[in-house]
Chain A
């Protein structure tokens, strides 16, 4: 794992940031097969810390809940125990956990390297747009032939 020296997120303690990064790595590990970084990658994690925004308190609560389930410190558990505790935490699916999971996914799947691995151009759709493959518009011919279903306003 890379260092935790990314810009600190307001409201998240060092311990919380460390736990968040551990969770991100467990959620989406790096893959040589798909040539993608893990969600604990330096750039992805820095994006997370910048993006907690209005959900910072909820994410801090989710990580505090994780620590409580771990008996004090999630980061201090061995790998097998971390898997078990994280599994229980995930299964409980608290609203705070849902927000934390969304943060990780949002920052991971907008990473340029990840988007390229999915054959996506890392850019917004506007103003350049995307070419959409056209379907069979003749399917709508019977609809076009229908009598109009509305009436004129008086």
Chain B
């Protein structure tokens, strides 16, 4: 169970960055994860003092994350690795990602607002990590949708500009990373593109 807030999702020039983020508030973690994260963040000691320290953490933790929206930045891309190959000689994907100044400012804003929210809710010990190192990220974009073949990979109904019998239907056609969990939007895009293919069946590859 989680509670979301999109209070800071839309662009607001006064914040110093474009686009925004979703806050996701989650319930506290179970006994094992509280111990694992407590150890990793130095809150839990080894030895006799462990038990008392753990009981301060257990059932008194919560978490929140800000899912930030990366803009379409050309330096973030996927290429073929020139060296690394699989057992069949197929090059591995090489992921290039650099945090942009816009995303950095967005993260700073999210950490500041998130800390305020947690303190107002009674938090006494707040730890932050931005960008998050020990959790998942959404791999989005690189084959974005658009009407201009010079600036996009697929057209407005999912067909490749360059290869007329190729349709791309996944998170790579997003034009930004989106500041939320993307699965439902990907599902909606899949339904939309399938409808477009049915509607255009007789001229699909023209």
Query: Which A residues have a C-beta under 8 Å from some C-beta of B?
Result: 26-29, 31, 33-34, 36, 86, 90, 98, 101-102, 105-106, 108-110, 114-115, 118, 120, 149, 153
Closest residue of chain B to A120 (Cβ to Cβ) is B31
Task: A124 to B66: give the CA distance in the assembly, Å.
Answer: 29
Q: Are B31 and A109 closer than 8 Å at their CB atoms?
A: yes
Complex contacts, B32 vs chain A, CB 8 Å: 105-106, 109-110
Complex contacts, A106 vs chain B, CB 8 Å: 32, 36
Complex contacts, A114 vs chain B, CB 8 Å: 31
Complex contacts, B55 vs chain A, CB 8 Å: 34, 118
Q: How many A-B residue pairs have CB under 8 A?
A: 45
Task: A29 to B52: give the CA distance in the assembly, Å.
Answer: 12
Complex contacts, B59 vs chain A, CB 8 Å: 118
Complex contacts, A28 vs chain B, CB 8 Å: 46, 50-51
Complex contacts, A90 vs chain B, CB 8 Å: 46
Least Cβ–Cβ distance between A124 and chain B, in angstroms: 10
| Residue interface bits B20-60, CB-to-A below 8 A is 1, else 0 | 00000000000110111001100000111011000100110
A-B contacts, 27 listed (Cβ < 8 Å): A26-B47, A27-B50, A28-B50, A28-B51, A29-B47, A29-B50, A31-B48, A31-B51, A34-B51, A34-B55, A36-B51, A90-B46, A98-B40, A101-B36, A105-B32, A105-B39, A106-B32, A106-B36, A108-B35, A109-B31, A110-B31, A110-B32, A114-B31, A115-B31, A118-B58, A118-B59, A120-B31
Task: A93 to B51: give the CA distance in the assembly, Å.
Answer: 21
Q: Given A26-B46, A109-B32, A115-B31, 8 other A-B contacts at CB below 8 A?
A: A27-B47, A27-B50, A28-B46, A86-B46, A90-B46, A101-B36, A109-B35, A118-B31
Task: A33 to B6: give the CA distance in the assembly, Å.
Answer: 46
Complex contacts, A26 vs chain B, CB 8 Å: 46-47
Closest residue of chain A to B46 (Cβ to Cβ) is A27
Task: A25 to B31: give the CA distance in the assembly, Å.
Answer: 19
Least Cβ–Cβ distance between B19 and chain A, in angstroms: 15
Least Cβ–Cβ distance between A47 and chain B, in angstroms: 12
Task: A109 to B50: give the CA distance in the assembly, Å.
Answer: 13
Complex contacts, B47 vs chain A, CB 8 Å: 26-27, 29
Complex contacts, B50 vs chain A, CB 8 Å: 27-29
Least Cβ–Cβ distance between B111 and chain A, in angstroms: 23
Task: A106 to B35: give the CA distance in the assembly, Å.
Answer: 8
Q: Are A33 and B51 closer than 8 Å at their CB atoms?
A: yes
Q: What 6 pairs between A and B have smallest CB-CB spacing?
A: A105-B35, A109-B31, A109-B32, A34-B51, A27-B46, A31-B51
Q: Which residue among B35, B46, B51 has the maximum number of chain A CB atoms within 10 Å of its CB?
A: B46
Least Cβ–Cβ distance between B5 and chain A, in angstroms: 9
Task: A109 to B192: give the CA distance in the assembly, Å.
Answer: 47
Task: A149 to B192: give the CA distance in the assembly, Å.
Answer: 21
Least Cβ–Cβ distance between B151 and chain A, in angstroms: 23
Given A98-B40, A118-B58, A29 and B48 touching (CB < 8 A)?
yes
Least Cβ–Cβ distance between B31 and chain A, in angstroms: 4
Closest residue of chain A to B48 (Cβ to Cβ) is A29
Task: A74 to B50: give the CA distance in the assembly, Å.
Answer: 22
Complex contacts, B51 vs chain A, CB 8 Å: 28, 31, 33-34, 36
Closest residue of chain B to A98 (Cβ to Cβ) is B40
